[in-house]
Every structure is written in C-alpha cells, then in structure tokens.
C-alpha cells in the first residue's frame, strides 16, 4: 500500500489482530509492555509501521503517539517506511566480514538491481540492507529474507536464492 492510502485500523474490534493483542495483555502487569508485540502485529499486517499505525497502537495502550514513535525509532527492525516485498538483511559484522560477507551484500545488490543499500528496486520487490550481527557467526554469511533465516550464503548462491522468490 502507499503511504497516502486511507488508513485501515489493524486492531478492529472482533478481528484476529485485536484478539491476539487482548491475549497478550494479561501476561504483563502493565499494558504498556505489549507495545513491542503490538508494533510487530502492525508490521506483520501492513508491511511497515506508519504514523497512523503508531497512533492506533498508542490509543489502544493509553500512550501518546509521540511516545510510541520514540520507541519505534529506537529499534532497527520496525520499518518506518514501506520496503520491498522481499526485505533482505545481510550480516556484515566483523566475524562474517572476515569471511567475505561484503561480497555477499554486493551480490545481492547486483542481482536485485537495487544498486544501493536501503534502496527499494523499481519493481518494488527488493530492499537490501546490511545488518549488524545476526547471531549465526559460525554459518557465515547469514542472510534474512523477510522472516526466513538462511545460513552459509556465498555470492555464488545468491542468484539461486533470488530465483526461488516469486
């Protein structure tokens, strides 16, 4: 969806997302503790976390939109703008870096025609970013494509990995 389309609430009454959030709230002594999980639900449903999404969550959890934005901007995994259908994160932190991770990142940039880190390809399919330590250093280079975690990626494997994606 584009950022200018009218906002459809994620947590509409009776909906699945609302049920999910309502189940989470009793796990914590304060409702605010469900803020990160609620934002994850927004991102899952909408692909990113818009200002309207933040405002909706703020309303549900008795927080201000500014507070929610402050939290969103702290964490790297919430997208504050739309990203490609396939969001590709390549770990290039030191342990992977010394095993050739930069070449893996370059291969993704080349084969997705994005050309530059953080830029979405013109067909809207791909965004490639470098990510700090994915915590799978023994399987250099780990790559995340959306929720899928792929180990031991080399530049040679990149075309095949991309060919699987629709």
Least Å from the CB of residue 87 to another protein: 12
Alpha helices in the chain (DSSP H): 16-24, 35-46, 51-60, 65-72, 94-97, 101-112, 158-163
Tell me whether residue 104 or residue 144 sits nearer to another protein (CB atom): 144
Least Å from the CB of residue 99 to another protein: 7
Binding of residue 99 to another protein (CB under 8 A): yes
Binding of residue 39 to another protein (CB under 8 A): yes
Do 66 and 101 contact (CB within 8 A), yes or no? Answer: no
The secondary structure of 141-154 as a DSSP string is SPEEETTEEE-S--
Segment near another protein (CB under 8 A); pick from 2-10, 110-118, 132-140, 155-163: 132-140
Q: At how many degrees (to 10) do helices 65-72 and 51-60 cross? A: 120
Least Å from the CB of residue 6 to another protein: 27
Binding of residue 32 to another protein (CB under 8 A): yes
Dist CA 114 CA 23 (whole Å): 40
Tell me whether residue 14 or residue 135 sits nearer to another protein (CB atom): 135
Do 150 and 91 contact (CB within 8 A), yes or no? Answer: no
> Footprint of another protein on this chain (CB under 8 A)?
27-30, 32-37, 39-40, 61, 63, 70-71, 74-78, 89, 92-95, 97-99, 131-140, 144, 147-149, 151-152
């Amino acid at each position: 969806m584009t950022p200018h389309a009218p906002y459809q609430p994620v947590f509409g009454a009776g909906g699945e997302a609302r049920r999910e959030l309502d189940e989470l709230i009793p796990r914590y002594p304060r409702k605010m503790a469900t803020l990160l999980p609620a934002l994850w639900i927004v991102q899952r449903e909408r692909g990113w976390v818009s200002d309207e999404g933040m405002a909706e969550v703020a309303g549900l959890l008795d927080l201000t939109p500014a507070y929610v934005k402050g939290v969103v901007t702290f964490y790297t995994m919430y997208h504050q703008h739309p990203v490609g259908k396939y969001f590709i994160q390549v770990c290039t932190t030191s342990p992977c870096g010394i095993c050739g991770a930069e070449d893996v990142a370059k291969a993704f940039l080349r084969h997705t025609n994005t050309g530059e880190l953080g830029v979405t390809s013109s067909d809207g399919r791909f965004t490639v970013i470098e990510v700090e330590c994915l915590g799978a250093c023994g399987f250099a280079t780990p790559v995340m494509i959306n929720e899928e975690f792929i180990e031991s990626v080399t530049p040679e494997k990149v075309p095949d990995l991309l060919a699987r994606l629709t």
